[in-house]
Amino acid sequence: MTSERGGAPALPADGTLLTARGVRSRAALLAAARRLFQSQGYANTKISDITREADRALGSFYTYFANKQEVLEQMAEDFKTEIETRLTELDLTRPEPFEVIRDMCAVHWSSCRAHSAELAAIFQASMQDEHFARRWREIRFDARKKIAAGIRALEQAGLAHNPEPEATASALGSMMDYFCYVWLIEGGEADRVSLPDEVAIETMARVLYRSMFAEAEPLGE
């Protein structure tokens, strides 16, 4: 059901198709890069690390990618597609709104877990490369829009009030993204290093739900 990890066979720069052997090598490199991005981080991974890990010659890397950025670009593409697909597959018609939100959080959490290497790499790259900063903003934007839309819908239904849907969506999205990064990649907080999936999902869902659905507000604005 999930898209092939490593992405479509994809074409080399000149538009020709890859042979079976080529497809295998490209996948091996991509898989090696994933492993290393996850374990050592994107910036700390050298091309030569990737080829060694993939058991290929250094030069072979350049048969498939122009540089390290292109590897990440490819991964980011897959990551984006994956998240989008998973989000559209959600059943938004369930009667219990909390269930819907929890499902969404579950999808987000498990996508990030499945693609933790991609998450790590793009998050890191977004902090030192303007190009990937933009890319990451695009990728995460879908989720922001969805949350903002939810907030606005509640407003119109008179179920809750929130004067800043976009800002709130940004805050909640930031929470989801960085919370996933912290627990899935960085290894938790100072006093604790892991979190059961259940708890993580429930925690995010609770924050989202309460932030979105609160009615009677003693909030002076």
Residues that bind its own copies (CB under 8 A): 14, 41-44, 52, 96, 98-99, 123-124, 126-128, 133, 137-138, 140-141, 144, 162-164, 166-168, 170-172, 174-175, 177-179, 181-183, 186-192, 195, 199-200, 202-204, 206-207, 209-211, 214, 217-221
- Rounded CA-CA distance 123/170 in Å is 16
User: Which residues 7-26 are close enough to bind DNA by CB under 7 A?
Assistant: 12, 16-19, 21-22, 24-25
Minimal CA–CA distance to 140: which of 102, 164, 97, 169? 169
Q: How far is the CB of 138 from its own copies (least distance, A)?
A: 6
CA-angle at 149, arms to 211 and 166, nearest 5°: 65
Q: Which helix (H) or strand (E) holds 64?
A: helix 61-64
Q: Which residues, 44 to 63, sit near DNA by CB under 7 A?
A: 46-48, 56-63
Q: Which two tokens stand for residue 107?
A: 């999808």
Question: Which of DNA, its own copies, none interacts with 182 (beta carbon under 5 to 8 A by kind)?
Answer: its own copies
Report DSSP letters for 3-33, one per residue: --TT-S----TTSPPPPHHHHHHHHHHHHHH
Binding site for DNA (CB under 7 A): 12, 16-19, 21-22, 24-25, 46-48, 56-63, 66-68
